[in-house]
Amino acid sequence: MFNLNEFFQNVEIDINNAKKIEDLDQIRIKCLGKKGILTNYIKGLKILSFEEKRKNSVLVNKIKKSIFLKINRKYKTLEQIILNQRIQNESIDVSLPGRRIQNGFVHPITHTINDIKNFFFKIGFQSVNSLEIEDEYHNFDALNIPKNHPARDTHDTFWFDDNRLLRTQTSSVQIRVMKQRKPPIRLIFPGKVYRNDYDPTHTPMFHQIEGLIVEKNINFSNLKWIIYCFLNDLFNNTVSIKFRPSYFPFTTPSAEVDIISHSGKKLEILGCGMVHPVILSNMKIDSKRYAACAFGIGVERITMLRYGITDIRSLFENDIRFLKQFKQ
């Protein structure tokens, strides 16, 4: 005959001897599970008399409760032992020096952009950003660039479809601004531009900063003065500057600006000119009353010249050893 008290004593011994949480789970299932010993014992009580059934039911429930409480206590004991072992094994010596995380560095392109913006802020310019995905009208048509111009070809421009493209210059921002604002206008437009080219002096993505002035009585002499002051400020009066005639569809007259090194070597640094009167008229600006001048600066080229960088690809390789050189 099944002896409940003897059963409980044996279970109590098993609980006390358990070394793992898995052992406790097995004891709980064996004794209290749906197919456990006590569950089956209760099912067998139906053949007993009412008094015996009541007496044994009370005892079974008392034993079940005791087993449940003892298992829970043992759970907590084993969990504490496991935690103590982890603390001991994973302890940290707080007296050891910490592992320092190396700080990042401002990229030389960012240094150059900030220096350019700071100069133009001092002479009354504001900075405007705009879309990098443009349409054909703002990127080409409105800038007086003819339909057969090579810049429109896929080997030079990244097209999404027949109308949308990654902008090839920030001049498109000038068009959007002139459509929305009335003169006087004095703005710069920093941003990324995209062209299908990649070699030691060109990358598919690069940075430009373009400037636009629309005012009464503005002329090419004013534009030259701004360019001279800007480049002398940027290079601390250490370079010679030369203007030479050039052609751009959206400016007339136009010029390219070279910086002449100590060895006499010329490097084209920016383009500039007076905005074409046709463009002003298309933007509903009276070209007889207002004049406009514009300039475009290649940030990477100026950065390479300032810091003596020979390969433009170094600017985009994310080499921390390279960036460390420009810590300020």
Q: How far is CA 213 from the centre of its chain?
A: 32
Region 158-170: what's the mean pLDDT? 89
Question: pLDDT value at position 2?
Answer: 63
pLDDT digits (tens, 9 = 90+) for 95-137: 878 777 777 778 889 999 999 999 999 999 999 988 889 999 9
- Dist. CA 238–CA 241, nearest whole Å: 10
Neighbours of 225 (CB within 10 A): 10
Q: Kindly list the domain boundaries of the chain, sorted by start residue.
A: 4-89, 108-326
What the block records as the tokens of 41 is: 């014992």
**pLDDT for 213 beyond 90:** yes
Question: pLDDT value at position 263?
Answer: 64
CATH topology of domain 108-326: BirA Bifunctional Protein; domain 2 (3.30.930)
Percentage of the chain with pLDDT > 70?
Answer: 96
Q: How far is CA 249 from CA 82, 98, 262, 301, in A?
A: 78, 60, 33, 22
Instruction: Please answer whether residues 189 and 211 qualify as being in contact, where contact means their C-beta atoms are separated by less than 8 angstroms.
Output: yes
The structure's pTM equals 0.65
Phi–psi pair at 204, nearest 5 degrees: -60, -30
Average pLDDT, the chain: 85
**pLDDT for 200 beyond 60:** yes
What is the number of alpha carbons within 13 Å of residue 41 lying toward its C-beta?
A: 21
3 state SS of 297: strand
Banded model confidence at residue 207, pLDDT cuts 50, 70, 90: very high
Closest CA to 28 of 62, 69, 60: 69
Q: Which residue has the tokens 């592992």?
A: 99
E strands along the chain, which residues?
Answer: 126-127, 133-135, 164-166, 185-194, 205-215, 240-248, 251-260, 266-275, 291-298
Q: Which residue has the tokens 């302890």?
A: 91
Banded model confidence at residue 201, pLDDT cuts 50, 70, 90: low
Region 27-43: what's the mean pLDDT? 80
Helices 21-32, 4-17: crossing angle, 10 deg rounding = 160
